[in-house]
Amino acid sequence: MISLNTILTEVVEPVLNTTGYYYALFTDAGFYQKATRRKNDVTYYINTLAEMTDYASTRVSNGALAVAQSFSIRFMLPLDDEPDATGNYPAATAFRDALTQAFSRVDKFSLTVTENDEQKTYSGGLSFFVPIRGERGSRTNVGDSIEYRATLQVSYLENGINATDVVFSLDGTVIPYTRFAIRRTPSASAVLTPDETNGEGKVYNEVTSLTVDIQMPLLSDSAPSASVVSYLLGLSSMNETMTLTIAFPGVTPDFSEEVIFGECTTSGEGVGNVAAMIRLVPAVVPNMEA
């Protein structure tokens, strides 16, 4: 498994370093880091305490470890400014916004760690919950300050492939998606061999068919989205071919196939964004030499 210290130094700390603030990170407990001065430059630190609040793990059939962990992260923010005309503290608002924006750009990670003199690679995703303001008070060493509490959830699998690393493209344009399914369905025939006495036959595939189902948001500046809508509204040919490319981690070369749209649906509700479920199937390409 990945230790709390490794999660902090390899996942959390690089994200915090993009916020423009300085942090003193501790696990479970630590010694308060005061501001430091070098000539006329003073560096203030946001003391940050992280602790594991939940842990669950399981072994898959090949012995690989699958883990889900939850962490509580507490940030102690000094209030070194005055409230504005509305009564809000600009420093607190700026910090919360910077923290939220930084973590919103990160949704996956891959780490290689050493366990019992053996290197293991874990891949997974993370979810960051917007920091919630805690109590404001005058604290020893810190002074007037506000505590923010955030929750970080990570899930990872040994030698796993992250779903977001699979890339689908239509005519060279990447398809934004939230879920996908690649399915190959065989049409099988059974043969009863002479040595079978119980009526059980052997099976072989005569033909297989490929379907690719993709759930995607419809975007105003996306060529794949425009193609989907045109197909749904009957504005384009039902047999208009497109080139589907699938880049799957660990598989070379990339898959490429001429496809057409199959069954597609789009839906929307209230003020929510419009989404579509599309199906892509291999197209019959006419033989131009015939």
DSSP state of 237: -
> Is residue 83 reached through a cis peptide bond, with omega within 30 degrees of 0 on the bond before it?
no
Mean pLDDT of the 109-132 span: 84
**Domain extent listing, the chain:** 4-158, 166-282
For the beta carbon of residue 53, count every other beta carbon within 10 angstroms. 12
Mean pLDDT of the 107-132 span: 84
Query: pLDDT: is 94 or 62 the higher one?
Result: 94
Confirm whether 4-158 and 166-282 share one CATH topology.
Answer: no
Q: Which of 165, 171, 168, 172 is closest to 182 using CA atoms?
A: 168
At residue 283, the pLDDT reads 93
Q: Indicate whether this model's pTM tops 0.85.
A: no
Mean pLDDT of the 189-205 span: 78
Q: What class does CATH assign to 4-158?
A: alpha beta
Question: pLDDT grade, residue 287 (50/70/90)?
Answer: low
Query: pLDDT: is 205 or 196 the higher one?
Result: 205
**Bridge partner residues of 103 (DSSP):** none
Of the segments 17-31, 38-52, 67-81, 230-244, which one has the largest average pLDDT value? 230-244
Domain 166-282 has CATH 1.10.30: no
pLDDT 10s digits, 143-183:
778 888 888 888 988 888 888 889 999 999 999 999 999 99
